[in-house]
């Protein structure tokens, strides 16, 4: 009877050790996926390309002396700097 208990205990311990990774594994939260998608959308290559186009348009407005172009160009530069630099700032903080 004692031998059977030891064998049973050994089998249970082996099963727990074998399936330990599966027990502690967790799925990805849908919030994490959504936030990562937003981060990629706001700081990815498309956002940087749109920022470049906006700066070029602002520069052309400044070159042809459109009304209020200095204010618009400053707003574009500071706004894009904050939007694209926010991810780096958060990564630096944490």
Q: What is the pTM of this model?
A: 0.48
> In this predicted structure, what is the pLDDT of residue 1?
58
* pLDDT-based confidence at residue 94 (cuts at 50, 70, 90): low
41-64 pLDDT, tens per residue? 877 888 788 888 888 887 787 777
Name the residue among 59, 57, 51 with its Cα closest to residue 79. Answer: 51
pLDDT greater than 80 at residue 24:
no
Distance separating the N- and C-terminal Cα atoms of the chain? 57
Find the range with the poorest average confidence among 3-12, 16-25, 85-94.
16-25
The encoded tokens of residue 71 equal 């204010």
Residue in the block written with tokens 């904050």: 82
């Amino acid at each position: 009877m004692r031998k059977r208990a030891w064998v049973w205990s050994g089998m249970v311990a082996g099963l727990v050790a074998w399936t330990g990774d599966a027990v502690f594994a967790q799925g990805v939260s849908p919030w994490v996926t959504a936030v990562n998608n937003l981060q990629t959308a706001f700081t990815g290559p498309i956002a940087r390309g749109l920022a470049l186009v906006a700066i070029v348009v602002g520069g052309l407005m400044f070159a042809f002396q459109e009304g209020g172009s200095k204010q618009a160009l400053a707003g574009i530069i500071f706004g894009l700097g904050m939007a694209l630099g926010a991810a780096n700032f958060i990564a630096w903080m944490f």
